[in-house]
Structure 1
Amino acid sequence: MFIDYEDFAKVDMRAGRIVKVEEFPRARTPSYKVLVDFGPEIGERWSSMQAALAYRPEELLDTLVVGVVNLPEKNIAGFKSQALILGVPAEDGSLSLLRPSRGAQLGSSVY
């Protein structure tokens, strides 16, 4: 199914840096709570990330990621997730995060 570019342009994807990682034992799937800095325009946003099988907390801290910042908050096991961090399935079935390969300015838009 194809969509119009105008629909795609409504999705606000930004570069951010993970600044805090917390365990999330209440989640149904192994997850972390992560605080992501999306730069001065957006600020810091919390997200639930199903990454606990693929990444250790120290691997995620200070990592650049890509996230959707204009979705409504989602309640996940009593936690308000404010952004959706993007990833794809890795070859082993775990998570592979989408990350800028050459660095990025925090808050810069995906285009």
Structure 2
Amino acid sequence: MIKPEINWQDFDKLDLRIGTIISANDFDAARNPSYQLEIDFGPLGIKKSSAQITDLYKKEDLIGKQITAVVNFPKKQIANFFSECLILGIYGENNEVTLLTTDRDVKNGFKIG
């Protein structure tokens, strides 16, 4: 089902950026299997995020991977952790998440539009 139509101003409120994952750790306190990630967004600094991506990704394979994220959400507490951005991905048939990445390396912090 398609969500309700939005206008350009709604979309323009999102700050979508490219970042590189620099660390990935198990998040044992989360309700669902997750990783705690640190992502380098270049001039925006390093932000933390919790991601339920354990079905398709091993921690060691995430290091150095460029991802797409929303960086202007308020911090969200998940168990004992504060997530500072929302990593974007595609939900598969069984709710497994495939990360949205680039097909070329770009500078961390570059804006998506």
- Normalising by structure 1, report the TM-score: 0.94
Residues 57-99 of structure 1: per-residue CA shift (max 9 Å, x gap): 0111110000110000000011000010000113553110000
Matched residues in 1 for 2:79 and 2:6: separation? 32
Give the fraction of aligned pairs with identical amino acids, expressed as a percent: 39
Matched residues in 2 for 1:51 and 1:17: separation? 16
SS of corresponding position for 1:48 = strand
Correspondences of 1:94-109 after superposition (within 5 Å): 94-109=96-111
Counterpart of 1:57, as a letter, is K
The Cα of 1:52 is off from its aligned counterpart by: 1.4
Task: Specify whether residues 90 and 103 from structure 1 end up closer, same or farther in structure 2 by C-alpha distance, changes over 3 A only.
Answer: farther
1:68 paired residue number: 70
Runs of 4+ in 1 over 2 A off after TM superposition: 90-93
Number of aligned residues = 110
Q: Which segments of 5 or more consecutive residues in structure 1 lack a partner in the other structure?
A: none
Q: Which segments of 5 or more consecutive residues in structure 2 lack a partner in the other structure?
A: none
Correspondences of 1:28-47 after superposition (within 5 Å): 28-40=31-43, 42-47=44-49
RMSD value over aligned CA atoms?
Answer: 1.0
Residues 9-68 of structure 1: per-residue CA shift (max 9 Å, x gap): 11000000000111101111110000000111x100000010112210011111000011
- Normalising by structure 2, report the TM-score: 0.93
Matched residues in 1 for 2:11 and 2:83: separation? 22
Matched residues in 1 for 2:65 and 2:92: separation? 18
1:77 paired residue number: 79
